[in-house]
Amino acid sequence: MIAARLLSVPLFAAALGAAWAPARADDAACQAVLQAVLKQAAVPVHQKVTIETAAAPGKPMQNEMIRLGDTLYMQARGQCMARPYDAAKAADDARQAMTKGEHSCTRVRSEAVDGQPAELYSVQSKTPNGGSDSQIWISTASGLPLRQTVTMLEQGAVKLKHEVRSDYANVRAPAGVAR
């Protein structure tokens, strides 16, 4: 299931999995994005996710994900489940993703997200079959991603779009879900 696959690692890192190249390791904009993704992998977060696939255009799936300690809680299609989460492995996966594909990162502008000051970054990546166009809003106060949008392309056509909104305040496990 696509939702489970996307939610199994930090979402933006997964989208950029084929996007990072070591030649860009000194690019300040790409480093800012990577640092935010790495930081997010290690903190409690409640994320609301909207996913729209080419197979079901106009019918977005709404999901939620909560990462708390060593547990990842996912809610999709009304079902909630818990599974183990390894922050070190998620960060390692994001770092390893830096070795694949071509990408470019650009700081676009300062822009508030839900009243919080943020910096908007644009990330374009290319793979042999397509790539992705992504935007990530990083809080100027915390350095954490507040919002992320990704459009994944395959053979020049949109394959998948997703948006993630992240909240770091008062993150709690969902009621009634045991690990």
- Token pair, residue 150, equals 């990704």
By CB atoms closer than 10 A (0-12, 13-18, 19+), residue 150 is buried
* Structural domain contains residue 176: no
Chain segment 108-136, per-residue pLDDT in tens: 999 999 999 999 999 888 877 778 889 99
Alpha-carbon distance of 29 to 105, in angstroms, equals 6
* Structural domain contains residue 178: no
Q: What is the mean pLDDT of residues 148-159?
A: 82
Domain that holds residue 145: 2-167
* Structural domain contains residue 33: yes
Residue 100 pLDDT: 67
* Structural domain contains residue 128: yes
* Structural domain contains residue 29: yes
The count of domains in the chain is 1
Residue 147 pLDDT: 96
- Token pair, residue 34, equals 């990577």
- Among 11-25, 78-92, 123-137, whose mean pLDDT is lowest? 11-25
- DSSP state string for the chain: -HHHHHHTS-HHHHHTTTT--GGGTT-HHHHHHHHHHHHHHTS-EEEEEEEEETTSTT--EEEEEEEETTEEEEEETTEEEEEE--HHHHHHHHHHHTTSSEEEEEEEEE--BTTB-EEEEEEEEEETTEEEEEEEEEETTT--EEEEEEEEEETTEEEEEEEEEEE-SS--PPTT---
* Structural domain contains residue 16: yes
Instruction: Reply yes or no on whether the pLDDT at 2 is more than 50.
Output: no
CATH of the domain at 29: 2.50.20
* Structural domain contains residue 91: yes
The letter for the amino acid at 49 is V
pTM of the entire predicted model: 0.81
* Structural domain contains residue 118: yes
Residue 174 pLDDT: 86
The whole-chain average pLDDT of the chain stands at 80
Contact 138, 40 (CB under 8 A): no
